[in-house]
Amino acid sequence: MNDALYMQLSSRAAMPYVHSFPPIADAQARVLILGSMPGKISLQAQQYYAHPRNAFWRLLGELVGARAELPYATRLQMLKSSGIALWDVLQSCAREGSLDSGIDDASIIANDFASFHLAHPDIAHIFFNGAKAEACYRKYVLAGLSNQSGALQYQRLPSTSPAHASLSYAQKLKAWEIVKLKAQGL
């Protein structure tokens, strides 16, 4: 084995594996918001989008009332009662740190979307929270969905991550308003 390959395999083996959470969804879900993989703070808290600078709960607070200062269980219930499901594309991966750029693509295992879509047939719109979620879904999930994916509509939204600072909060809110409209069936 050459030195470069050995170093690559050694560094990959040293990366910690992380695992996502179960989906937040009920039978009334009409839209699905997909992230890539929870960051370190979210994994420690066992809550989606727990990083205090992530704009996700601030945005969903304005859109459907799921404000960050509410208890986590209340926020999740508000999402569900608004027709919004929440999950991550990846079931597990090796990742250094919290950023999507730290994910080792060779380690990716995607969640079981075929079963998810069978259990949630009213979902017609999938919104990606950022580019990595969309890229992983298209690469690791889409081909395995066969005919289920034909009726689904996909849209990438600006990432709510604090690392994605190229858009203002107002610009992100404007882009994310589509989630509320589609959840309401509009």
The string of DSSP codes covering 75-101 is HHHHHHHTTEEEEESEEEEEESSSSGG
Query: Could you tell me the pTM of the whole model?
Result: 0.88
| pLDDT 10s digits, 86-126 | 999 999 888 887 766 667 778 889 999 999 999 999 999 99
Instruction: Please state, in angstroms and rounded to a whole number, the distance separating the CA atoms of residues 15 and 129.
Output: 24
Check residue 93 and give its pLDDT: 86
Instruction: Please state, in angstroms and rounded to a whole number, the distance separating the CA atoms of residues 129 and 99.
Output: 13
Check residue 17 and give its pLDDT: 87
- Which string of DSSP letters, residue by residue, matches 126-153? EEEESHHHHHHHHHHTGGGGGGGGGG-E
54 tagged catalytic: yes
Task: List Cβ neighbours of 1 (8 Å cut-off, separation of 6 or more).
Answer: 9
- The alpha carbon of 98 is separated from its chain's Cα centroid by a whole number of angstroms, namely 14
Banded pLDDT at 13 (limits 50, 70, 90):
low
DSSP class of residue 185?
T
Q: For each of the domains in the chain, give its residue range(s) and CATH number, in order of start.
A: 17-183 (3.40.470.10)
Select which of 54, 111, 129, 147 is catalytic: 54
Average pLDDT for 136-147: 85
**Number of Cβ atoms within 10 Å of the Cβ of 164:** 16
Residue 45 φ/ψ, nearest 5 degrees: -80, -15
Check residue 4 and give its pLDDT: 46
Check residue 186 and give its pLDDT: 81
Check residue 34 and give its pLDDT: 98
Instruction: Please state, in angstroms and rounded to a whole number, the distance separating the CA atoms of residues 4 and 13.
Output: 14
| pLDDT 10s digits, 153-182 | 999 999 998 777 788 999 999 999 999 999
Average pLDDT for 58-62: 97
Check residue 1 and give its pLDDT: 47
Burial class, 114, CB count within 10 angstroms (exposed 0-12 / middle 13-18 / buried 19+):
middle
As a whole-number percent, the residues of the chain with pLDDT over 90 amount to 66
Lowest mean per-residue pLDDT among 5-14, 70-79, 93-102 = 5-14
Indicate the residue type of 163: A
